[in-house]
Every structure is written in structure tokens, then in C-alpha cells.
Chains A and B, each alone.
Chain A
Amino acid sequence: MIVSRTVRLAAVLPPLAISLLTYLKTDFSNYYMVLGAISLVLITSTDRLKWAGVGLVYLPAAYTVYLLFNGDPAPFLGLATGYVLISPIVFTLAAYNSKNLSGLLTGYFTAYVFATLLYAVVEGGNTKPEAVFTTLVRNLIGVFGGDVVNIIPQQNPPIFLMSTITGAATIALLLSISIKSEGPPHITSEWLAAFFTAIALMGLGVFTVTLYPWLTPALLLGVVSLLTLAAAIIVRWLNA
């Protein structure tokens, strides 16, 4: 139980780390932001707390809208920023508690992307609650105006730090596949063979990222596509 939970925690570490870096640079002077963050976490918690979360969501939301129409937009933007800032943590919690592997992987990916987007906003000097929200929206709209469509902005979390944490998280993700019913990882010969294959092909990816970064996306997609094609052919042959 403890081992499996630890592995899960390690698997969702990258978005947590990026979020931590983001929060360290954020200005929490607007208390509506804290209120928004807490209410969103509560609403995804246990059933009993969920009702408290609903109260915490609707009442402040109604009140801040009232203030907005009376010429005070700061509470409304603070609340919205609180929701947005806490969203990577919410996705991380969803991934951590996910009952299946696809849920874990999707939650991991979503939390990672959101955390990176928010980090880029704060890293760009937009630490005030009002600025975080508006810049995030502007960044997302601006993505589709450029030559290359990439949601991840230029202001990234430190690559070296994140590579290390993500590497560990990836191994934890692979170990999660080998965990059934909250027990310890059960490593089989097929798991080991697949693990070493993945490490070898990841080495190829790291090599490409280092030397030919522009080629990396095409290489990764190409390898996975070829493997999928090979798998389809081999499984068909096995079924013959």
C-alpha cells in the first residue's frame, strides 16, 4: 500500500514541482485567490467536503460578480486566478487517485501542461493575480497566431531540474503499470524487456534532443508510429 502510493506520488511529482516554483513567485496579496484555490481543492475531495466546496464556490462567485458590476473587478479576477493557479494540483490529485493507468497518464499530462503554462506566466513577471489570469488568456490566444503552434511558451521551468524529476516520474509511471491492487510492483520478464527497450529508445530521443532539437518531435512520433504499425502486424500474425 505504502509502496504503491509512494510510486504514484513519484509519478505525479513534476507538476507538483513546477507548481511549487510558480507559487514561490506569485503574489498572494489578493485573498480571493486563496479562497478560489481552497474551494476548488475542496470540491474535488471527499463527498462530505464537496458540499462545503460547492458553498465556497457559489457564494464567493456570486459576491465577486456583484462587486464586478459595482466597479470593483479585483475580487472577481482574484477568485478566477485562484481557480486557475490551483488547477495543476487538482489534475495531479485526479491522476494520483485514478483507478486506471490511462487516467493516471492523462492526469499526469494535463497537470504537467497546466503547470508549465502557469509557470511561464509568472516567470514573465506577471505575479499579481489580475495579471496572471489575463496574461494566461492572452498567451493561449496568441499561440494560434504564430508560425509554429506550440502551447508551451518560451519561459520554461529549468530544463535540467525538470529533466531529472521527469525522468524519475517516468520510471515511477512505468512501475505503476506493474502495480495491481495496491500491492508492491510485480516485475515480470516482459516488463523488464519492455523497460530496457524503452530506456534504449529514450536514449535515442535524448541524443536527438541534445544534437538535433528540431528533429526531435518527428523522431519521437515516427518511432511510436512505427512501433504501433509493427505491433499491429505482429499481433495479426500471432492471431493467424
Chain B
Amino acid sequence: MTLTNEGFKLLTTCFTLTLAVTTIVVYPPLSLSIYAVSVFVLTYILFAAVRLRKIKSSAFGFSRKLDVKTVRPGGRFTVEVTLTNLSGVPLHVVLNDSAGNLVLAEGSLTIEKRLQPNQSATLRYKAYAPARGVYRLGPPVVKVVDEYGLVNRVLVLEEEANVYVLPGMVEKPRLAEGVKAVQNVYVSGTGLSVKHGVEDVFREVGEYEEGQPLKAVDWRRTARMDGELYVKKFDRVNRLRILFLVEVTKGSLVGNPTLLDSVFASVIGVAKAMVESGDVVAVKLLGQTGSNTLTVHSTADLEKLAYFLTAARPVTAYDFVKETEEINGFDVVFLIGRLVNVRPEQLLTFTGKVRRTGGVFFTLIPMLDADDGIRRALAILEDMRVEKFLHTANVAKISQHSLPSYLAHLHRVLRAAA
């Protein structure tokens, strides 16, 4: 319960004038007049505060909608916040929404209205996110103001909501134009299904569990038994276990879209193709603290992957050896990044480690598209810097726009070899 600006000013004025008319300006009619007004204001504020206290969050219905399913950097979207008065009595409300770090493009974050019972007020504004990341909307704050605007009750209707701004997708030019430099690709497959080329191998018959597809039901077995449903279980023996090691460093925040966003968009795109063909994809973000690895088993997990990548916060530097020391058990490992924090011998050591466990390791260095003088100069410097890595096997410099195509190409090669 707080006083509004108007209420505070009025109360202060009343008290000051009361002090004046009882000390230095004593004229009974005026003194009593100011006194009566002061008493009135004080008691009114008290009565109004007691009434407003009875209003709870449940007196309002609230909803917030965005007009787009996926928010991209720079893309405008409309936020529609609706507040409904469920209290059964008319209420004067001021609804405030917060757009956090989103940029307000159009409209206002505040609406003031007197709501009759069951009447709604809608607040509409347009905003956009300047870059990829997790942004916050809200929490919505409702101020219920008394009839004369002197007292208000502040209610927070819900917690703030996250808006995931996914990396912008990049166009896909021809692969040949995008590949800047590439070493020979040595593929040593998983060796599990080369001979037979089958994907599923029968393992056992088990009882049907809710949620399993009906096509998995073993109808013969079911007919022979006591009426319970039985399903056949298979092992997918040539499923590739793929790991993406993605550098999330501030050095990748160059270009438009940034190199990092291009990498994220490529990983999301190619991961979708990979899981659709039965592979398991894990993504480990290098340089991130806390939960920095996400495994995608099915297309249902792709949304989680998008959110996971969106929430990544670039760091200045990371320790490549420490971050990769516990990695094993993958058939394919992709390292994608500018390798600012990696030395060639560390890369070589890690390549050997992956090979020893039967996997294959690719390093992809995304390059900025040089379309003006400054970027061309930067590209030349970057070429000189990464030159030392190109002597290692399976290292490629790829244009940022060609990354999805190249990853898809490598995946096709690997699937063919598996």
C-alpha cells in the first residue's frame, strides 16, 4: 500500500499548512478549515487503504501473448498484455509491463483504465531484441488506485517471462564457394553396421508401455498370450553419436549476423537433420560454466537445443584442455570456433584421443564474409592466424554462410561410411 505522488503531495501540504495555522498564522476560521481538510485527507487515506488491502492478485485475470512463435534478432514482434477485472467491483487500474533489455519500438508499457467487473484492458506494444539471447518480459505490475488517485495498491501478477531470441538463420550459397580451405577428410567409422547396413537389430519382446507406437506391437505374440500387448524392441546399431564442441567466446561476436550466431544456426539446422536420421547429437559449449552440455535424442529435443544455445553467454577465454579432458565415447566430434584459445599441439593431442576411441574429429573455423575493405583486411589477418592449424588433419576454414552446407555434407559422408 503506497501513496501516489498526488496523495503524498496533498498529505505533505496538509501537514505543513496545519503546522503553519497552529503556530505562525493563527486565525481561527482558517486554522479550523485547514485542520478539517487535513483530518479528512488523513482519514480518507486510511479508509481507502483498508479497502484496497482486500484486493488480491486473484482479482485479476492476466495473459500475455506474442504474435510470433520464434523471435529473431532485430525482428519486431507485438506483445499483447490483457488484464481482466474479476473482482466484481469497478477498479481503477494502472498496468505496467517491463520489456527488460528489449528495445521498445512502438506503443507504451503502461495503460491506465477504469475497469468495470469482467471488463478487460489490453496493452499493446512492439519491441525487438538487438541480438541473440534470453530476454525478460515483465513482471506485470498492476497498481489499483483509489477513486481520487491518492492511494494505490501494487500487485505483481506473475513472475517475469523469458523470451528466447534465437540466432538468425543464414542463407546457403553453393558449397564450393563457401569452403575456403580444407584438408583431406579421413573418416574412420564406428564399425558397427558396415557389413549389413541395417539400422535396427531385434533385441527382445517386452510388455507394451503406454506411449509406445502401435506399429511396434508384436501382434502374433500378443495373440498367443493372455491378452496383454507385447512389443518388439530393437537396437539401432549404426546410430552415430555426434558431439559438437562450440566455442562461445567474445572473439566470435563479429559480423552481422555474428560468427557465433551463424555457428549456432548451423548447429541447430544440422542437428535436426542428424536426429531425423537416427543419430544422437550432443552439444557442448566451451567456456560456459554450469550445465554446458545438452544431448538431443529426438526432434522433440530440438527446441531445448535452441533455448540452450540462445541462453549462452560468450566468455573472454577458456581452457581447451580442461574442457575436453572428459570427452569420450563419440563417433564424430566437431569443434567449431576461431580457436583463439587453442594451440595446434593441443588440437593434435585431442585428435589422437578421439581417434583412439574409434571416433573421427573435425575442426571447422568459421570465417567472416569479407565484403568490404575493413573486413577483407581482417580476413587476411585471420587467415595468417589460423594458418598454423591447417596442417592438422580434418581442419577446414569455412565461410560463415556455408557452415550449414558443409556440416550437412560431412554428415552425409559419415552416414555413408557408417
Contacts and interface: CB of A to CB of B under 8 A. Distances in A.
Interface string A30-46: 00000000000000000
Nearest to B16: A106
B17 A186 contact: no
B183 interface: no
A178 B24 contact: no
A104 B148 CA distance: 15
A213 B43 CA distance: 25
A102 interface: yes
Contact of B35 (A106, A190, A202): A202
Interface in A209-240: 209, 213, 216-218, 220-221, 223-224, 227-228, 230-231, 234-235, 238-239
A227 B44 CA distance: 11
A178 B48 CA distance: 13
B381 interface: no
Interface residues of B, number: 49
A21 interface: no
Contact of B33 (A106, A169, A199, A223): A169
Q: Which of A112, A191, A198, A216 has the most CB of B within 10 A?
A: A198
B413 interface: no
B39 A224 contact: yes
Nearest to A117: B25
A14 B30 CA distance: 9
Interface string A154-178: 0010010011001101100110011
A223 B32 CA distance: 12
Contacts of A201: 35-36, 39
B1 A239 contact: yes
A54 interface: no
Contacts of B33: 14, 166-167, 169-170, 173
Contact of A235 (B15, B27, B49): B49
Q: Which of B10, B22, B35 has the most CB of A within 10 A?
A: B35
Contacts of B20: 109
Q: Which of B9, B36, B46 has the most CB of A within 10 A?
A: B36
Interface stretch (A85-93, A129-137, A144-152): A144-152
Interface in B1-25: 1, 6, 9-10, 12-15, 17-25
B147 interface: yes
A220 B9 CA distance: 21
Contacts of A227: 38-39, 42-43
A205 B32 contact: yes
Contacts of A173: 33, 37
B290 to A, nearest CB: 37
A75 B139 CA distance: 66
B38 A156 contact: no
B148 A105 contact: no
A98 to B, nearest CB: 11
Q: Which of B24, B26, B29, B41 has the most CB of A within 10 A?
A: B29
Given A102-B10, A105-B14, A224-B15, A188 B23 contact: no
Given A198-B43, A224-B38, A227-B42, A216 B1 contact: no
Contacts of B28: 159, 163, 209, 213, 216
Contact of B19 (A105, A218, A221): A221
Contacts of B37: 105, 170, 173-174, 198
B43 A224 contact: no
Contact of B32 (A180, A193, A206): A206
Interface string B43-78: 111111111010000000000000000000000000
Given A150-B24, A156-B27, A180-B148, 7 more contacts: A166-B29, A166-B33, A190-B47, A220-B32, A221-B18, A227-B39, A238-B1
Which 4 pairs across A and B sit closest by C-beta, in order of nearness? A194-B44, A198-B40, A217-B22, A190-B47
18 contacts: A14-B33, A100-B10, A102-B6, A152-B27, A156-B27, A163-B29, A170-B32, A177-B148, A190-B47, A194-B41, A198-B40, A199-B36, A205-B35, A209-B32, A217-B26, A227-B42, A235-B46, A238-B53
